[in-house]
């Protein structure tokens, strides 16, 4: 079943390779979507794909790359759009 969600990751998540690492994890899992730094210091991630694969990427977001310090991840469901690639914005 295809699912899509938006996750906003809080903590020390900018300037630590979070976007690049998330893109690699998502691509390996076969998940489409995008990742972007937001002006408030958080990272926004949209993920679309198989429910299990999306769930595995969300698990990764809770810790991120070694230099990150994630304090929380807020997840909301979205309607699937049919994305087929993962982009870094």
Relative to beta strand 69-78, strand 86-88 is: unpaired
- Among this protein's residues, is 37 annotated catalytic? yes
Task: Tell me which residue of 59, 65, 53, 55 sits closest to 21, measured CA to CA.
Answer: 65
- Catalytic residue (choose from 37, 74, 87, 89): 37
pTM comes to 0.95
Q: By residue range, what is the domain housing residue 30?
A: 2-79
pLDDT of residue 17: 98
- The mean pLDDT of 63-73, rounded to a whole number, is 98
What's the CATH code of the domain at 24? 3.30.70.100
- Among this protein's residues, is 19 annotated catalytic? yes
Q: Do the beta carbons of residue 4 and residue 77 sit within 8 Å?
A: yes
pLDDT tens per residue across span 14-67: 999 999 999 999 999 999 999 999 999 999 999 999 999 999 999 999 999 999
Q: Do the beta carbons of residue 47 and residue 12 sit within 8 Å?
A: no
Whether 89 is covered by a domain: the verdict is: no
Whether 85 is covered by a domain: the verdict is: no
- Assigned token pair, 35: 């990742």
């Amino acid at each position: 079943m295809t699912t899509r969600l938006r996750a906003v990751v809080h903590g020390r998540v900018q300037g630590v390779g979070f976007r690049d690492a998330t893109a690699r994890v998502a691509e390996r899992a076969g998940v489409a979507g995008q990742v972007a730094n937001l002006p408030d210091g958080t990272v926004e991630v949209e993920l679309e794909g198989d429910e299990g694969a999306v769930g595995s990427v969300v698990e990764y977001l809770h810790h991120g790359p070694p230099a990150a310090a994630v304090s929380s991840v807020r997840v909301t469901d979205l309607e699937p759009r049919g994305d087929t690639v993962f982009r870094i914005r």
